[in-house]
């Protein structure tokens, strides 16, 4: 096993020891100090690969898991996976350091918190480094489960439980759709390896399952990355503690869908459906998130919608960049490929400034007791460091210099302008909408960034509205956002170093096969007066005036009918779904065994008999049948007589005795056909069950009262007749269809194989020895249970007697 495999398992293995560390060291030592070693170690390990990856080298390591099914523990590292791995562990280390000071070691169940964090970290690393589709799916669903646990960490709060439930329902729904897409993709290509699928992309586009697989995989990506209209789970997830929000919703979980789109762009890119779905949904999400962020009064809700907006921006860039695969090379390909470089760049930038902003908002909540913007204001002099960090993070998100967001935002505008001049995918007609929508969304982005900074730190100080007296956060809580803020500024001044070692290898992984050096474009803050700069100036001017008069027009955003909001539609769908399931359950969960048997037999007739007819396997061949002797015919007549006696009996006593006689007659058939062991078993079972029936039913009233007529029930008649006909047809068809050599020929050699003269004994003891042992174990457990219940009842009766 390679160290890469061990790296993925480290968080899972360490999670086992966290409760032990918590038990023996808390509350003297915060558990986070031990956990901090995990992301730091993995981060330093991944840094070793940067020089090799930047030179175009990839790393593939595989360990057999279920090779007969084509499933292996295969891990692959390239530029794209490396970026995500560094973000997962780097931001993870800072978040854990932040949580050491944020989470109280006296009041919080820290062992649960850090176990969930480690599970999530390991699952995310597994997602971004998996080369096997099914392995990726396993880690994908682990992220959903662990994020559910993280969001519901404060499970005593109803809103936390509701937010966790919503996120899990939506993301697991998408995950199941993605699994179906993966299976279709493997059926097309004959492999589960992502590398091999990418290598065979030229042969799969014409397949009938190509488009369905694309749609299902995108559904998984859109739900995980909170793309419109699946965005509603992300604001609800803000009920989690701030360290969780900073980790899940800035650098990790919400980026999993982005990763999926980037990873499968070489497979589906260059197709009009992929281009329009990814870029169109991304732009719609960008606009939706920015509009909703403006009207929020809760700081974390504002950041939640801003995250939705920024994820839409990145998604739209990957969609635009996929058009480069439509061309085999040349200038047109290089023009559109810039969008992918911008997407990867903004992916990193967003993680830095959004992580810092989440931590600052956590500091405000921690030190003032509220996140309500209406209660805040005038904190600039009281919390100057937090104010500085908020300015850096918010201005970077707004796309202002000298912060890294300005560079990637300019590249975003460049990509949108290039899209408007695109001559493929009907963009000559609709392409003009792309820069217009991008510019409008950027204006609202500028507005909510100003709201975040100035509504919180400027204005009138309102101590009477705060739950506690505010003060600056301790140094330990400030260090993580300071590190991220330093990266925000440092990337602005040294973007090309980042591009050489991380951005270009990642972009090449998204668009393989394009000419070398295509992404070796120098990133600069100044390109002269160009349309991108004019768009930025327009964003600042329009955003400033709209912010100044925010109170006069922000109410318009609330005019939209609340009954038609996505959250309300989700709640309504959930409510109606529960009502429908309750109605359906009440219809079939009647409490009567006869109804359940009717459902079971009806399904058997419908699907069993239907499958027999549809498969054209209904065939009856009597040529090889042996003749029926007079004795066998007499037993058959007796069986019919016993069955009709059960059917028309007027008392339970008669029905039970006739049913027992029916069983005894079957045992006679077993004797005739030389199966004495089955006959003996049948005799024992019939004796026991008949005795029990008589014991239970002797004191019950008669079945029928009054005239004694037997009521005719058509449904029961149809079901019973259908079951009999279906079973008979199955038996006759099985005798007439030999799909393979009977297995009985193998057991004929029981003496040579097992040294047994009796085939049945050999099957039970040797061939099915484990099964027989488990059956005996089940009977033993059941017997112990019965003995325990009887013993408890006897003890209870004795105590009652003593009390009397």
Mean of per-residue pLDDT scores for the chain: 86
3-class SS at 401?
Answer: coil
Q: Inter-axis angle of helices 384-398 and 404-420, to 10 degrees?
A: 20
Token digits of residue 55? 């030179």
Do the domain assignments include residue 738?
A: no
| Same domain (yes/no): 387, 476 | yes
Pairing state between β 71-77 and 59-66: antiparallel
Q: What is the mean pLDDT of residues 524-544?
A: 90
Last residue of a domain, one of 672, 706, 740: 706
| Residue 748 confidence (pLDDT) | 72
Instruction: List the alpha helices (DSSP H) in 48-109.
Output: 50-54, 79-102
Quick check: 128 and 75 in contact, CB under 8 A?
no
Cis peptide before 27 (omega within 30 of 0): yes
Quick check: 513 and 56 in contact, CB under 8 A?
no
3-class SS at 73?
Answer: strand
| Same domain (yes/no): 368, 513 | yes
| Residue 557 confidence (pLDDT) | 79
CA dihedral 775, 781, 782, 785 (to 10 degrees): 180
| Residue 556 confidence (pLDDT) | 82
For 560-574, write each residue's pLDDT tens digit. 777 678 888 888 888
pLDDT > 80? residue 450: yes
Q: How far apart are CA 76 and CA 220, in angstroms?
A: 21
Last residue of a domain, one of 644, 674, 706: 706
| Residue 287 confidence (pLDDT) | 94
Q: Rg of the Cα trace of the chain?
A: 35
pLDDT > 90? residue 481: yes
| Residue 133 confidence (pLDDT) | 92
Residues linked to residue 72 through DSSP beta bridges, in sequence order: 64
Token digits of residue 277? 């779905």
Q: What is the mean pLDDT of residues 260-277?
A: 91
For 71-105, write each residue's pLDDT tens digit. 888 899 999 999 999 999 999 999 999 999 988 77
Give the CA diameter of the chain. Answer: 108
| Residue 657 confidence (pLDDT) | 86
Do the domain assignments include residue 216?
A: no
Do the domain assignments include residue 496?
A: yes
State how far Cα 617 lies from the chain centre. Answer: 40
For 213-246, write each residue's pLDDT tens digit. 999 999 999 999 999 999 999 988 888 888 998 8
| Same domain (yes/no): 641, 494 | no
Instruction: List the alpha helices (DSSP H) in 26-132.
Output: 32-35, 37-47, 50-54, 79-102, 110-129
Q: How far apart are CA 719 and CA 715, in angstroms?
A: 6
**Which residue range is the domain that position 509 belongs to?**
278-558
Do the domain assignments include residue 552?
A: yes
Do the domain assignments include residue 58?
A: no
| Same domain (yes/no): 419, 509 | yes
Ramachandran region, residue 144 (left: φ > 0; alpha: ψ -120 to 50; beta: rest)? alpha
Do the domain assignments include residue 517?
A: yes
Q: How far apart are CA 345 and CA 339, in angstroms?
A: 10
Instruction: List the alpha helices (DSSP H) in 589-616.
Output: 593-603, 610-614
Do the domain assignments include residue 463?
A: yes
State how far Cα 536 lies from the chain centre. Answer: 38
Q: How far apart are CA 117 and CA 98, in angstroms?
A: 13
| Same domain (yes/no): 655, 547 | no
| Residue 706 confidence (pLDDT) | 52
Token digits of residue 660? 């027992």
| Same domain (yes/no): 502, 539 | yes
Last residue of a domain, one of 649, 679, 706: 706
Token digits of residue 782? 């059941």
Residue 655's φ and ψ, nearest 5 degrees, are -65, -40
| Same domain (yes/no): 302, 404 | yes
For 189-216, write each residue's pLDDT tens digit. 888 899 989 888 777 888 889 999 999 9
**Domains held by the chain: number:** 3
Do the domain assignments include residue 268?
A: no
| Residue 570 confidence (pLDDT) | 87
| Same domain (yes/no): 664, 683 | yes
| Same domain (yes/no): 309, 323 | yes
| Same domain (yes/no): 581, 683 | no
| Same domain (yes/no): 553, 567 | no
Ramachandran region, residue 517 (left: φ > 0; alpha: ψ -120 to 50; beta: rest)? left
CA dihedral 787, 793, 796, 800 (to 10 degrees): -140
State how far Cα 615 lies from the chain centre. Answer: 36
| Sequence-ordered list of residues with C-beta below 8 angstroms from that of 312, at least 6 positions apart, any chain | 227, 228, 281, 282, 283, 284, 285, 286, 287, 288, 289, 441
Which has more pLDDT, 748 or 460? 460
Q: How far apart are CA 94 and CA 111, in angstroms?
A: 18
Query: How would residue 486 be classed by pLDDT, with cut points 50, 70 and 90?
Result: very high
| Same domain (yes/no): 287, 411 | yes
């Amino acid at each position: 096993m390679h160290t890469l495999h061990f790296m993925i398992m480290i968080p899972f293995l360490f999670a086992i020891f966290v409760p032990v560390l918590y038990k023996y060291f808390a509350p003297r030592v915060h558990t986070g100090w031990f956990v901090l070693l995990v992301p730091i170690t993995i981060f330093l390990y991944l840094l070793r690969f940067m020089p090799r990856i930047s030179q175009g080298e990839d790393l593939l390591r595989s360990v057999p898991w279920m090779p007969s099914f084509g499933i292996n523990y295969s891990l692959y590292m390239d530029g794209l996976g490396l970026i995500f791995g560094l973000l997962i562990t780097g931001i993870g280390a800072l978040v854990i350091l932040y949580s050491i000071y944020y989470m109280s070691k006296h009041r919080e169940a820290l062992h649960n918190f850090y176990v969930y964090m480690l599970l999530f970290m390991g699952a995310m690393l597994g997602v971004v480094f998996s080369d096997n589709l099914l392995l990726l799916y396993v880690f994908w669903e682990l992220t959903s489960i662990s994020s559910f646990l993280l969001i519901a960490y404060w499970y005593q709060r109803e809103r936390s439980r509701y937010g966790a439930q919503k996120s899990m329902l939506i993301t697991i729904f998408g995950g199941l759709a993605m699994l179906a897409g993966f299976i279709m993709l493997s059926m097309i290509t004959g492999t589960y390896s992502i590398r091999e699928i990418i290598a065979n992309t030229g042969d799969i586009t014409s397949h009938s399952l190509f488009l369905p697989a694309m749609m299902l995989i995108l559904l998984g990506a859109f739900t995980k990355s909170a793309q419109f209209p699946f965005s509603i789970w992300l604001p609800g997830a803000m009920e989690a503690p701030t360290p969780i929000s900073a980790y899940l919703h800035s650098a990790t979980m919400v980026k999993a869908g982005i990763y999926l789109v980037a990873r499968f762009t070489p497979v589906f890119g260059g197709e009009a459906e992929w281009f329009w779905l990814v870029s169109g949904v991304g732009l719609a999400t960008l606009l939706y998130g920015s509009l909703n962020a403006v009207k929020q009064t809760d700081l974390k809700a504002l950041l939640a919608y801003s995250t939705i907006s920024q994820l839409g921006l990145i998604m739209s860039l990957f969609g635009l960049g996929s058009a480069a695969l439509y061309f085999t090379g040349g200038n047109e390909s290089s023009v559109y490929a810039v969008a992918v470089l911008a997407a990867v760049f903004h992916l990193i930038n967003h993680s830095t400034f959004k992580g810092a902003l989440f931590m600052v908002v956590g500091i405000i909540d921690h030190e003032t007791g509220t996140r309500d913007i209406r209660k805040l204001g005038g904190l600039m002099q009281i919390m100057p460091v937090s104010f500085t960090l908020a300015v850096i993070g918010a201005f970077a998100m707004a796309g202002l210099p000298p912060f890294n967001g300005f560079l990637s935002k300019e590249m975003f505008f460049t990509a949108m302008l290039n899209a408007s001049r695109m001559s493929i995918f009907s963009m000559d007609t609709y392409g003009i909408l792309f820069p217009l929508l991008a510019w409008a969304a950027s204006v609202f982005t500028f507005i909510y960034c100003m709201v975040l900074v100035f509504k919180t730190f400027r204005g009138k100080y309102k101590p009477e509205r705060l739950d506690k007296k505010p003060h600056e956060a301790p140094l330990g809580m400030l260090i993580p956002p300071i590190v991220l803020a330093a990266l925000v500024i440092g990337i602005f001044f040294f973007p090309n170093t980042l591009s050489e070692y991380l951005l270009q290898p990642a972009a090449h992984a998204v668009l393989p096969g394009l000419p070398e050096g295509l992404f070796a474009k120098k990133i600069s803050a100044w390109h002269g007066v160009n349309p991108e700069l004019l768009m930025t100036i327009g964003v600042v001017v329009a955003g400033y005036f709209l912010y100044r008069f925010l109170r006069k027009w922000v109410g318009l955003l609330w005019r939209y009918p609340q009954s038609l909001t996505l959250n309300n539609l989700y709640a309504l769908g959930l409510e109606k779904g529960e009502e429908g399931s309750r109605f359906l359950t009440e219809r079939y969960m009647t409490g009567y065994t006869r109804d359940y048997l009717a459902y079971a037999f009806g399904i058997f007739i419908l699907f069993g008999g239907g499958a027999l007819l549809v498969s054209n396997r209904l065939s009856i061949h009597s040529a090889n049948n042996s003749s029926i002797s007079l004795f066998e015919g007499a037993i058959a007549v007796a069986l019919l007589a016993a069955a009709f006696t059960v059917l028309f009996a007027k008392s339970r006593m008669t029905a039970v005795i006739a049913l027992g006689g029916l069983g005894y007659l079957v045992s006679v058939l077993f004797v005739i056909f030389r199966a004495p062991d089955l006959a003996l078993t049948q005799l024992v079972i019939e004796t026991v069950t008949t005795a029990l029936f008589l014991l239970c039913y002797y004191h019950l009233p008669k079945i029928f009262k009054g005239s004694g007529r037997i009521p005719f029930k058509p449904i029961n008649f149809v079901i019973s007749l259908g079951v009999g006909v279906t079973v008979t047809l199955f038996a006759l068809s099985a005798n007439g269809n030999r799909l393979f050599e009977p297995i009985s020929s193998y057991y004929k050699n029981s003496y040579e194989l097992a040294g047994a003269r009796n085939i049945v004994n050999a099957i039970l003891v040797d061939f099915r020895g484990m099964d027989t042992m488990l059956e005996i174990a089940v009977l033993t457990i059941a017997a112990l249970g019965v003995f325990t219940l009887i013993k408890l009842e006897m003890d209870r009766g004795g105590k009652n007697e003593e009390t009397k």
